[in-house]
A and B are shown apart, each in its own frame.
Chain A
Amino acid sequence: MIEVHNLNKTFFTPHKVRALVNVSAMVEKGDVVVVIGPSGSGKSTFIRCLNQLETADSGKIIIDGIDVLDPKTNINKVRAEVGMVFQSFNLFPHKTVLDNISLAQRVVRRRGKEESYQKAMSLLDKVGISDKANVYPDRLSGGQQQRVAIARALAMDPKVMLFDEPTSALDPEMIGEVLDVMKSLAREGMTMIVVTHEMGFAREVADNVIFMDEGAIVEEGTPEHFFQNPTHDRTKLFLSQIL
């Protein structure tokens, strides 16, 4: 489903940082891959490169058979197939919850108003906040906003979902409701790449765990391997600090 070969990315502002160093990864259809690592390790840059919110300097990304970095590729078509959920939700504050979810369906997928609203309502039902359809995002709690953001991404019927620290901006008591939605999504067979600090989620849901540090993948493996017998010292150190 997703192939990443030798991805490199260097930031020059505010100062020179090698954010990605020869990152390669494979994600099979239906897999849930959890990317963990200390802050500044390049995990966010990695998934932001996948849908071209950041442009990699070199390397190759293939999503569903399409070469993402090929200049001839229509990146908007790729992005429509790759849903993304952000740390800070990024809901559209001037639109109601319903319009947040139906806007891109109408504009990008060219669905009719009726169809897009029906889809939006069924997704709101799925994330458990169908009673908030007509309110504006600033009336919602963080957890509710993030669930709307997930519904907004799902409305495009994406083949892959990217989660960039979806629970890091939430109050502790709201993390559970967002993780529950993500877990049920994983059970339905959605291909997911999740950058997170939620080790419980990684242990429970992940098919594969990637540990990154200083822009490079240090260790990769199943959760069992990863949490019980990590091989690298850096991984052991990280796990001992957070568990």
Chain B
Amino acid sequence: MPRKFSSIIGGVRRKEQRNYILSVIAFFIILAVLVGGLYYATAQIDYVWRWFRIPQYFVFKDKIPVQSEIEGDVEKITIRGETAEVTVKGTGETASYIVPADGITVYEGDTIYPGDALGAYEEWKAGILLQGLWLTLKVSFIAIFFGIIIGLFGGVARISSNPAVKWSMIAYIELIRGSPLLVQIFIWYFVLGTLINNLLAQQGMGQVAPLWFGVAALACFSGAYVAEIVRAGIQSIHRGQSEASRSLGMTYFQSMHHVILPQAFRRIIPPLAGQFISLIKDSSLLGIIAIRELTKATREVVTTSLQPFELFFLCALLYLVLTSTFSILLQYIERRTLDQ
């Protein structure tokens, strides 16, 4: 009996294993069909894939010319290792310029006018996509920082026993959650931005850059969601915890600070991570108010390079890299707070 029984189990196992392998194969076949189908379709419309054109939008070698400031002749070129000294002699004045030896574009005896290039430095520069990526990162992280602060105070205010505090928080949260982020960005930029900048101008003070209205829109937007997450986190902590801390004589804020929030914090890390990942993606909307973040940068490159297929895939991939890095980071923090 036992032998027969175990052979049945073995048979079931083998069958399960075979099904598993078949499913994995099916997955890769579906993937290959999708990619192949896409490639076939692009070939039908004679789209030429030019991935080699893409790297220049990340980093490129820029030529910075060394220009003469005076009019005259090139008197002498002295080469010293990798650099060279070009001496220009004009009427009554002489000037020397240091130029990379392999970048010299003049010969001894040439006639030079002010502004003429004597040679050029080559320098690596960040391309427009890398700048866009950096801006997306910067905008997202500033917005996340303020979103956490708004959300923390908002979440505590949301369950305040003071109706003025509580209802203003509810109104704020419902207003933000009930209207499209795109419209909120427009309001921040075209309404509040115009008001603030005009008022500042009347006082003779400087202007606020569009970037900051974008950051404000994102921070207020995510702040409302974070407030709800924080509220749920606080309310998930058993009543006995606040009763115990209050019965020891702690004030409401001491109890929040030392007992409730540290426990709530652990529980809200996963939903917070989700919220911030969608914030990073939502920052792509800021392009509409002339902030050149990753998506806007991609669109600009598309209009000049005419390689939309590669660029939009790449753009999506870059967001994926940002969001998954962030997600891994938060998972690490979550594990750390759970272990201790």
Contacts and interface: CB of A to CB of B under 8 A. Distances in A.
Interface stretch (B94-102, B180-188, B202-210, B257-265): B257-265
A174 interface: no
Contacts of B247: 51, 53, 79, 82-84, 153
Given A103-B258, A108-B254, A92 B241 contact: yes
Contacts, number: 61
Contacts of B245: 92, 104
Contact of A90 (B240, B250, B254): B240
A108 B240 contact: no
Interface residues of B, number: 18
Contacts of B243: 53, 86, 90
Nearest to B337: A94
A154 to B, nearest CB: 11
B262 A77 contact: no
B241 A107 contact: no
Contacts of B238: 90
A104 B258 CA distance: 9
Interface residues of A, number: 25
Most chain B beta-carbon neighbours within 10 Å: one of A81, A83, A90: A90
Contacts of B259: 92, 103
A76 B240 contact: no
Contacts of A86: 240, 243-244
B249 A90 contact: no
Nearest to B252: A76
Given A53-B243, A86-B240, A108-B254, A80 B262 contact: no
B194 interface: no
Interface in B214-266: 238, 240-241, 243-251, 254, 258-259, 262-263, 266
A84 B246 CA distance: 10
Given A86-B240, A86-B243, A108-B254, A94 B262 contact: yes
Contact of B263 (A76, A80, A93, A104): A93
A121 interface: no
Contacts of A94: 262-263, 266
Nearest to B251: A76
A104 B250 contact: yes
Given A84-B244, A104-B250, A107-B250, 12 more contacts: A76-B250, A79-B246, A79-B247, A80-B249, A83-B248, A88-B240, A90-B241, A92-B263, A107-B254, A108-B248, A149-B244, A156-B249
10 contacts: A76-B249, A79-B248, A84-B244, A84-B247, A86-B240, A90-B243, A94-B266, A108-B250, A153-B247, A156-B248
The 8 closest A-B pairs by CB, nearest first: A80-B249, A90-B244, A90-B240, A104-B248, A84-B247, A108-B249, A79-B249, A76-B249
Interface of A: 51, 53, 76-77, 79-84, 86, 88, 90-94, 103-104, 107-108, 149, 152-153, 156
